[in-house]
Amino acid sequence: MLLARRYIIFGLAICGAIAGIVIAKTLPKTYEARSRVILKIVQADPVTGQAIPPRALETVVQAQLELIRDRRVTDAVVENFGWEKSPELRSAYSLRRGDKDLDFRAWLAKRVSDSTNAYLIPNSPILEIAYAATSPTTARRGADAVREAFIAQTLEMKRNEAARNAEWFQKQTDDLKRALAAAEARKSKFEQDNNIVLQDDNVDAESAKLKALASAAAVPMMPSISLGGAASSPSAAQLAAVDAQLTAARRTLGANHPDIIALQQQRAALASAASRELAAARAASRPAAGPSMEGLLTAQTRKVLAQRGLVGEAQRLGGDVAVLRDQVTKAAQRTADFQLQAQSTESGLDKMGAAVTPTTPVTIARPLFLVGGFFVGLGLGAAIALLLELIFRRIRGIEDLYIEGIPVIGEMRRDDKSTPNPGLLQWLGIKKMEQQPT
């Protein structure tokens, strides 16, 4: 069947080869330039100190790849090239077949997006941006323009997000400050109404006084007078040391030497302090008049127990104030961090040189179009030949009449001149049928 339709098969193969040559001649050459950036998203932010979790790293990288072909980036490239003023592109836009719903600027942005490809180089934080164009210079400029627009858009998005976060945290800070002022007012009013004063550690003054009395009762007060009658206070010990230094210095230095004068002034100050300490120690050693320590401790204990409920409420109000103060501090800190980040010039991307003008086109070589067209035509011709044979069935040999169980009586052979080349038939795998016995 293939031999019978060989003219159709080889005719379509020749037509396919001619079509491949025509396509190769008319298809413009395409050049591709590449520019690279380093993604520093794995590093901590220099302002906030926060880093992206490893689990979210792949999602962030994919978002960066999608942003490169986003309209916000491609619009910047169109504006950089000034394509909106090009009459040739206006004419091409008017003759377009698809994208009927796009305006001129959106159509130009789509051209840039279709010409742009981005991918992450394996096992590295390097992002490569490829831009294809019919001109080597346009390809180089396009790769650099897409990279610049991508970095600028990334920085703008980062700033805008930080500004929104700063605004939100500022609002929270203001609300917390108002709540803190109200809580402090409630605490102050409660303390004034109930005559309760809380110290910085949220302990009331009466409980602190009870603790001091308990400590004084547990440790008896000892006089600070030595057996010889001399003061054993810290100032007295320092005074003795200064006297020793002064005696040693007078052996080698004059009376008007600065060191001698300084030691004398220090001795006078220590002598005054030692006198005061000695007087205080003598007064403390005398029997005290008035209530005993046990009585004071008992009275103070009763006073603390009587107002324990009020103190607990005051401490609860104080705890609310402490929590609100901590929240105000943290919210204000976050607001300051985001405000600083909104003014940052760090995009998290570093450029790696400039794109190089390509010298070799990336389109398929022209001989491949010829070979591809030939084999496509050959396959199409074979398919059409088989289809014609199935539609218009013909008897081309004894094998077409062979039915199992029914003997063949005889056959009429062609002349040798009209018989196809046996060698060709054997090369094609077609064996000549032997005459069946009657």
- Would residue 402 count as lying in a domain? yes
Parent domain of 286: 205-306
Nearest to 43 by CA among 347, 369, 425, 363: 347
What percentage of the chain exceeds 70 in pLDDT? 73
At residue 327, the pLDDT reads 92
**pLDDT: is 275 or 132 the higher one?**
132
* Cα gap 344→161, rounded to integer Å: 12
* Cα gap 317→275, rounded to integer Å: 48
- Rounded to 10°, the helix 293-306/205-218 angle is 150
Nearest to 13 by CA among 308, 369, 379: 379
At residue 223, the pLDDT reads 44
At residue 175, the pLDDT reads 93
* Cα gap 197→308, rounded to integer Å: 13
Mean pLDDT of 148-174: 91
Burial class (CB in 10 A: 0-12, 13-18, 19+), 321: buried
- Would residue 71 count as lying in a domain? no
DSSP symbols for 20-70: HHHHHHHSPP-EEEEEEEEE-TTSPPTTT-----GGGHHHHHHHHHHHHTS
At residue 331, the pLDDT reads 92
Highest mean pLDDT, choosing among 23-37, 47-61, 334-348: 334-348
At residue 225, the pLDDT reads 43
* Domain termination residue (choose one: 276, 306, 336): 306
pLDDT at 169 over 90: yes
What percentage of the chain exceeds 90 in pLDDT? 8
* Cα gap 111→93, rounded to integer Å: 11
- Would residue 358 count as lying in a domain? no
* Cα gap 223→232, rounded to integer Å: 10
User: Whole-angstrom distance between the N-terminal and C-terminal Cα of the chain?
Assistant: 28
* Domain termination residue (choose one: 306, 322, 354): 306
**pLDDT: is 245 or 279 the higher one?**
245
Residue with tokens 């077949």: 97
pLDDT at 65 over 70: yes
**pLDDT: is 346 or 15 the higher one?**
15
Q: Which amino acid is at 3?
A: L
pLDDT at 122 over 80: yes
* Domain termination residue (choose one: 252, 280, 306): 306
**Strands of the sheet with 116-120, listed across from one edge:** 116-120, 126-133, 31-39, 349-352
Could you tell me the pLDDT band of residue 315, with boundaries at 50, 70 and 90?
A: confident
At residue 269, the pLDDT reads 77
Angle (CA) 182-184-186 rounded to 5° is 70
Could you tell me the pLDDT band of residue 433, with boundaries at 50, 70 and 90?
A: very low
- Would residue 8 count as lying in a domain? no
Which has the minimum average pLDDT: 224-238, 268-282, 367-381, 388-402?
224-238
pLDDT at 38 over 60: yes
- Rounded to 10°, the helix 308-342/293-306 angle is 70
Rg (CA), the chain: 50
Mean pLDDT of 30-35: 88
pLDDT at 386 over 90: no
Mean pLDDT of the chain: 77
At residue 326, the pLDDT reads 92
Mean pLDDT of 317-323: 86
At residue 173, the pLDDT reads 93
Mean pLDDT of 354-362: 83
pLDDT at 77 over 80: yes
Could you tell me the pLDDT band of residue 312, with boundaries at 50, 70 and 90?
A: confident
| Number of domains present in the structure of the chain | 2
Mean pLDDT of 234-245: 77
pLDDT at 174 over 90: yes
Q: Which amino acid is at 355?
A: A
- 192-203: per-residue pLDDT in tens? 887 777 766 667
Mean pLDDT of 395-419: 67
Kindly report the backbone phi and psi dihedral angles of residue 36, in degrees, each rounded to the nearest multiple of 5, phi listed first: -130, 150
Could you tell me the pLDDT band of residue 229, with boundaries at 50, 70 and 90?
A: very low
Could you tell me the pLDDT band of residue 434, with boundaries at 50, 70 and 90?
A: very low
Nearest to 41 by CA among 50, 31, 32, 28: 50
Cα-based distances in Å from 4 to 9, 14, 263: 10, 18, 131
- 288-297: per-residue pLDDT in tens? 555 666 766 6
Mean pLDDT of 107-115: 88
Under DSSP, the state recorded for 398 is G
**pLDDT: is 430 or 177 the higher one?**
177
- Would residue 414 count as lying in a domain? yes
- Would residue 346 count as lying in a domain? no
In angstroms, how far is CA 431 from the centroid of its own chain? 71
Mean pLDDT of 417-422: 52
- Would residue 180 count as lying in a domain? no
Mean pLDDT of 111-127: 86
* Cα gap 47→163, rounded to integer Å: 14
Nearest to 76 by CA among 146, 157, 158, 137: 146
* Cα gap 72→74, rounded to integer Å: 6
- Would residue 227 count as lying in a domain? yes
Residue with tokens 């009020």: 310
* Cα gap 430→424, rounded to integer Å: 9
The backbone region for 235, taken as left when phi is positive above 0, alpha when psi lies in -120 to 50, beta otherwise, is alpha
CB atoms inside a 10 Å sphere around CB 65 = 14
At residue 437, the pLDDT reads 44
Could you tell me the pLDDT band of residue 343, with boundaries at 50, 70 and 90?
A: confident
* Cα gap 206→196, rounded to integer Å: 8
Mean pLDDT of 316-329: 88
